[in-house]
Amino acid sequence: MSIPIYFTTSDAPPIPVSFVDSYGNIPPSFTTGAFTLKFRSMSTGQKVAGGGSFSSPNQATGIVTYNLSSTDLANAYAVFSANPGTEIFEALAEATISSLVYDAQPMQIQIRKA
């Protein structure tokens, strides 16, 4: 499977985020969760919080969609380097439901400095 690539100067399509575990379970009260997303550089390990928004979560599928802000890709890349090139990031999402925190399945994306 190829890793999607985005430019720092472009808008990227929304990122679907799955909270279904390996047994097919979806967290209870999934639709009431507070969601956050961070980008983690695969080469430096540094993280930066995403500034976008999440769509309404789907309790039946365990999927919520993250809509990137206009500066997410540039901010994430700036954590890695100011030089042109391509960097791989993991998109790490969390859902906080009551006092419990659930981690989504990580997704990798490539960001290229334009």
CATH number at residue 84: 2.60.40
Residue 91 has pLDDT above 70, yes or no: yes
Number of domains in the chain: 1
What is the per-residue pLDDT for 83? 75
CA 68 and chain centroid, separation: 9
All residues at 6 or more sequence positions from 67 whose CB lies less than 8 Å from its CB, including other chains:
14, 52, 53, 54, 55
* pLDDT band at residue 1 using 50, 70 and 90 as cut-offs: low
Dihedral over alpha carbons 61, 70, 47, 96 (to 10 degrees) = -40
What is the per-residue pLDDT for 6? 86
With a pLDDT cut of 90, the percent of the chain lying above it is: 46
What pTM value is reported for the model?
0.84
Q: Average pLDDT in the 50-63 region?
A: 92
State the residue range of the domain holding 24.
5-112
Q: Average pLDDT in the 27-40 region?
A: 92
8 A C-beta contact, residue 69 and residue 76: no
